[in-house]
Amino acid sequence: MIIKLLKLSIRSILRDRRRSLLTFLITFFSFVILGLYLGNIKAFEYMYKKGSTRGDYGHIQVLNEKSKPAGELLDSKTYDTMITVEQFKKVKNFISTNEYFEYITPRLDITGIVGTTKASKFFSGNTVEVKDAINLYSFLPIVRGEFVSSEGEIVIGSKIAEALGVDVGDEVLLMITSVRGSLEAMNAKIVGIYQLGSDYIDSLKMYALLSDMTNLIMTNAFSKILIILNNDEDEVMYKVQEQLNDFFQKEGLPLKAYTYYDTAVFLNQVISSMKGNFQVGLVILSIVIFFALMNTLYMSITDRVNEFSTMRTIGMSRSTVFSIIILEGLEIVLIAVSIGLSVLPLLCEGINNLNIKLPPLPGSNQEIPFYIFFDLKNTLYTGIVFLVIGFLGSILPAISVTKLEIVRGFERD
């Protein structure tokens, strides 16, 4: 019975090829466009998440419970909510046994003045350990020089270098307020200049060795602890976060763990905005498909009134006729979605090979590489939404056919 219904519905689609093709093309291109946009979101999220978690954010950040996640790279810190060396050791000993653990490092956020005899500039910086260059900062775009590796070395943003008129190999003076309130200073050698493409960050951010800065501000404590995991899945991050917070509560430590999504607020807002745009596009295109499909079926039904009356005359039930119309709508959408799923991986690869560049984001001066990763999971969800729209768009035409009286149908002929 099902096979018979499928054959009847397919014949109906082929009979009215022009209208069916138009609805197919609308559905197909809508599905492909949304699939490509989903792939772009996935690529954007992957690149920024990979670079951020293995840079300034980590998968997990541990802070004093009185502190709040900065939400951005540049956040002024006070010295009354520091993490002690003893607390860091306890966290390290606990997390080192976790199956998802890869790397842990303490951080000291610093702010101060960097300058020469001719110019000076405010900076906000992070301290790093020498091993961080290998484990964390492989994604940092250093345009000249290298990452810090010895005492007395710093890496600065391109806009800082431009404002001070310095380059790799030059020396500058750092001035920072210590935990005792005194103004401390040290000479530092510029060994690298990076350029993230954001004028705001490139004009403020600096990297220095942890040992240099703890000596300069006269403390052995840290602002936060960064934890890198060997798995980027969100479920893993939340699981480790929960384990850490349970440990802190059990041990009575005044600490709290935050995930990447709590700390990299700006980046995640950009991604959320892109996902919101996708949802708006999905709603708009779904409405278009709904009315296009309904119009196609209504026009097809109008031309086939005599046919449906004949079907009813020879004993075909109202439910069978209803099923035929529903199947017509579903088959058009299903064919479009199936072909779209086959074409999308090839389109993604082809577009990636074109090396397309997008305009810079607001506040940035660097073009964004346009990549698309085929997002099978969310694309399948989109296909399911389209099938549901196909079903809903077929209901009203199908109902109108079932309400048609046999005699009325022959009268129209």
The C-alpha atoms of residue 331 and residue 323 are separated, in whole angstroms, by 12
The C-alpha atoms of residue 347 and residue 190 are separated, in whole angstroms, by 45
Secondary structure of 172-209 as H, E, C letters: EEEEEECCCCCEEEEEEEEEEEECCCEHHHHCCEEEEE
Phi-psi region of 365 (alpha: psi -120 to 50; beta: other; left: phi over 0): alpha
Which two tokens mark 253? 């430590």
The C-alpha atoms of residue 254 and residue 183 are separated, in whole angstroms, by 29
- Per-residue model confidence as pLDDT tens for the chain (413 residues): 567 666 666 666 666 677 788 888 999 999 999 999 999 899 888 888 887 888 788 899 999 888 777 544 334 345 668 899 999 999 999 999 999 999 999 988 888 999 998 899 998 888 888 777 666 666 678 889 998 888 999 999 999 999 999 999 999 999 998 888 888 999 999 999 998 877 888 888 899 999 899 899 888 889 899 999 999 888 999 999 999 999 999 999 999 999 988 888 777 788 888 889 889 999 999 998 888 888 887 877 766 666 666 666 666 777 777 887 888 888 889 999 999 999 999 999 999 999 888 777 666 667 778 889 999 999 999 999 999 998 998 888 888 777 766 555 545 55
CATH C-level class of 109-218 = mainly beta
User: Domain residue spans in the chain?
Assistant: 2-51+268-412, 59-105+226-263, 109-218
